[in-house]
Amino acid sequence: MFDDDQETPNTLNAAFEFDEGGKRKMLEFEVRHWMTNGESTTSVGNLFYGSKGYLAVNGEAYKTFLGRQQTPGPQSSGGGDHFLNFTDAVRSRKRESLNAEIEIGAASTVLVHLANISYRVGRTVNFDPETMAVTGDAEAARLMTREYRRPFVVPEKV
């Protein structure tokens, strides 16, 4: 849709399969850009479907809908600007002011990175959540990081 040097698709479906204690679970992730009156817009939101209803997250707000009748359940109008919180914590050097530890942020973004890597290599990617590493695919594993520009090099052991 865009005439630029983007490295990720603007329309993407990704399927994730999990095995939790012998129970197979699946997560579908979809990204779509919309065109309105010839103008590109991005609608950002997430829908989480469960056995008792679904959760709709749009930006900082969320709403839940329960049962077959989709009865409105708990909701919120906002949760705060997490990016601003992170940059403020970096500037102040006050780790305790973070909304969440950095490991939680890493875990919450790994699926997006895996979807992009799978798209780039054109195949299913297997991931070990214990080691936070791609398994059985050297090409895909290399895409989990990058060659850093000095002096901004991340050490092997952090």
Provide the residue ranges of all domains of the chain, joining segments of one domain with +: 80-158
Q: Which among 99, 74, 71, 95 has a CA at the least distance from the CA of 85?
A: 99
Q: How confident is the model at residue 88 (pLDDT cuts 50, 70, 90)?
A: very high
Strand order across the beta sheet in which 61-66 lies: 46-50, 53-58, 61-66, 71-76
Q: Strand pairing of 46-50 and 39-42?
A: unpaired
Q: What is the mean pLDDT of the chain?
A: 84
DSSP H or E stretch at residue 12: strand 11-20
Supply the pLDDT for residue 72: 94
CA distance 124 to 137: 10
Confidence at residue 51, expressed as pLDDT on a 0 to 100 scale: 85
Ramachandran sector of residue 22 (left: φ over 0; alpha: ψ -120 to 50; beta: rest): left
- Provide mean pLDDT across the span 32-45: 58
Over residues 76-103, mean pLDDT: 86
47 in Cβ contact with 28 (< 8 Å)? no
Tokens of 37: 């009156």
Where does the pLDDT of residue 35 fall: very low under 50, low under 70, confident under 90, or very high at 90 and above?
low
